[in-house]
Amino acid sequence: MEAIDVIAAKRDGGELTREQIDWVVDAYTRGAVAEEQMAALCMAVVWRGMTRAETGAWTRAMLDSGERLDFSGLGRPTTDKHSTGGVGDKITLALTPTVAACGAAVPQLSGRGLGHTGGTLDKLESIPGWHAGLTPEGMRRRLGETGAVVCAAGPGLAPADRKLYALRDVTATVESIPLIAASIMSKKLAEGTGSLVLDVKVGSGAFMKDVASARELAETMVAIGTDHGVRTRALLTAMDAPLGRRVGNALEVAEAVEVLAGGGPGDVVELTVELAREMLQAAGLHDARDPAEALRDGSAMDSWRRMIAAQGGDPDAPTPVAAEQRDVLAPATGTLTRLDAYGVGVAAWRLGAGRARKEDPVSAGAGVELHAAPGEEVRAGRPLFTLHTDGPDRFGRAAEALADAFTIDGPPDRFPLILDRVG
């Protein structure tokens, strides 16, 4: 087979066969198809799309490029959640131990942040001593002991996606629903979970800016999961405004711990509980305890402490605080009617909470504290945001990102927290 024929077939709007897809993904992973040829093929997919059969075959080929973990025999069902990413999305932190406290095992492979969205591993690494690297045996042992593991994907999992994602990132070919769906699902299927709940974010701070594209991505991923024998469902949830009141690594850990202690912002609690219920249902645990009760009675907190300690972290250690803080004041009195997730995400990133390139370090303490959420009253001259950073030269550019990120007394403009369900 020749790469040029596969590229031309897709360029001209044809449907690739399973053999063509298997061959091109495998040959690219081995280095037998050149980077420029794969880039051309990805661009053809961006323009021409892929059918359900092609997307399923592409996912399978990437899954088959590496190992597949197996957590059967743990004595409890496995279930996982994947979020397509957003601003202030610290849900995994409280959700994973909560679901474990209700009887399921959660093998959660997470990533690091890039650009304006945060990454779960960066957040957890702000806890002194905590480490993200585990072998499959280390994951299994901790899942048996605590029921909850959040760690980095090892190099053996879907290596084709690792190579391809790096290429798509620099060739403007990330924005394709079939390629995004195949990329996410190849990693989630390799993780070996028995069931999966997808949190597909919609809005300015998310990959998917509108409900129709988010629904298409959700339906594509649910179909792939189902075709691979994994019980998969999805929620479409709001990412037009940040989740909760804190954005930044250690700031978000502190907020998640508030949720685990039975408090925390209403939207973070509601989404944690809804996703936990979905995960328990998907895992077949129809008589499980209600997750809201696990948050109230301290068992989710106990589960968090065990999960953190099992990966070297000290759950009692104070989390890092940035060297400098500065308030941004509200310019008027009234109702905050819009708070733009993207603008807040960019501000947190410029303060040092995120990275522009994969190799960049992140600051544990940097980020943005929000003193009001949409729908709340603000007063002129009172703090609207507190900015946290280790580099005071970063304040100016962060404040610029926030200048257009809010409206006081405009028309109410918010998505409901949970927009739809798929699967």
Shortest distance in whole angstroms from residue 411 CB to ligand URA: 32
User: Which position among 80, 161, 240, 340 bears the catalytic label?
Assistant: 161
Beta-carbon contacts of 162 under 8 Å, excluding residues fewer than 6 positions away, are 155
Build a one-symbol-per-residue string for 313-332: x at contacts with ligand URA by CB under 6 A, - elsewhere.
--------------------
Annotation says 10 is catalytic:
no
Element (H, E) at 7: helix 3-11
User: What does 49-75 look like in DSSP terms, one character per residue?
Assistant: ---HHHHHHHHHHHHTTS-----TTSS
Burial 308-318 (b: 16+ CB within 10 A, else e): bebbebebeee
**E strand residue ranges, 50-145:** 79-83, 106-110
**CB within 8 Å of 166: residues ≥ 6 apart:** none
Nearer to ligand URA, 177 or 257 (CB): 177
From 60, 142, 162, 168, active-site residue: 168
The 3-state DSSP class for residue 343 equals helix
Contact 235, 200 (CB under 8 A): yes
Tokens 């729908």, located at residue: 375
**How many chain residues touch ligand URA (CB under 6 A)?**
6
DSSP state of 2: -
- In the complex, the smallest distance separating the C-beta of residue 177 from ligand URA, rounded to whole angstroms, is 10
Which of 79/183 has CB closer to ligand URA?
183
Q: DSSP of 251-313, one letter per residue?
A: HHHHHHHHHHTT-S-HHHHHHHHHHHHHHHHHTT-TTPPPHHHHHHSSHHHHHHHHHHHHTT-
- Least separation in angstroms between CB 179 and ligand URA: 6
Please identify, using beta-carbon distances, which residue of 174 and 399 lies nearer to ligand URA: 174
**Nearer to ligand URA by C-beta: 184 or 308?**
184
User: Is 246 considered catalytic here?
Assistant: no
**CB of 53 or CB of 174, closer to ligand URA:** 174
CB-closest chain residue to ligand URA:
183
Nearer to ligand URA, 286 or 357 (CB): 357
82 is annotated as an active-site residue: yes
CB of 311 to ligand URA, least distance (A): 22
Pairwise CA distance, residues 334 & 332, whole Å: 7
Select from 55, 56, 100, 53 the least CA-distant residue to 81.
100
Q: Give which of 119, 129, 120, 93 is closest to 317, Cα–Cα.
A: 129
Q: What are phi and psi of 255, to 5 degrees?
A: -70, -40
- Closest approach of ligand URA to the CB of residue 207, in Å: 6
CA-to-CA dists, residue 260 to 89, 95, 124, 294, angstroms: 15, 9, 15, 9
183 catalytic? Reply is yes
Catalytic residue among 48, 187, 355, 388: 187
Of residues 183, 186, 204, 299, which has the active-site annotation? 183
Q: How far is the CB of 356 from ligand URA (least distance, A)?
A: 17
The residues in 165-224 that bind ligand URA, with binding defined as CB under 6 A, are 165, 174, 179-180, 183-184
Residue 8 or 174 with smaller CB distance to ligand URA: 174
Least distance between ligand URA and beta carbon 213 (Å):
13
Judged by beta carbon, residue 174 or residue 309, the one nearer ligand URA is: 174
Query: In sequence order, what are the residues at sequence separation of 6 or more whose Cβ sits closer than 8 angstroms to the Cβ of residue 72?
Result: 194
Nearest distance from C-beta of residue 181 to ligand URA, angstroms:
8
Phi/psi for 408 (5° steps) reads: -110, 130
Q: Are the C-beta atoms of residues 182 and 62 closer than 8 Å to each other?
A: yes
Check residue 275 for interaction with ligand URA (CB under 6 A).
no
State the residues that interact with ligand URA by CB under 6 A: 165, 174, 179-180, 183-184
Active-site amino acid positions: 82, 161, 168, 183, 187
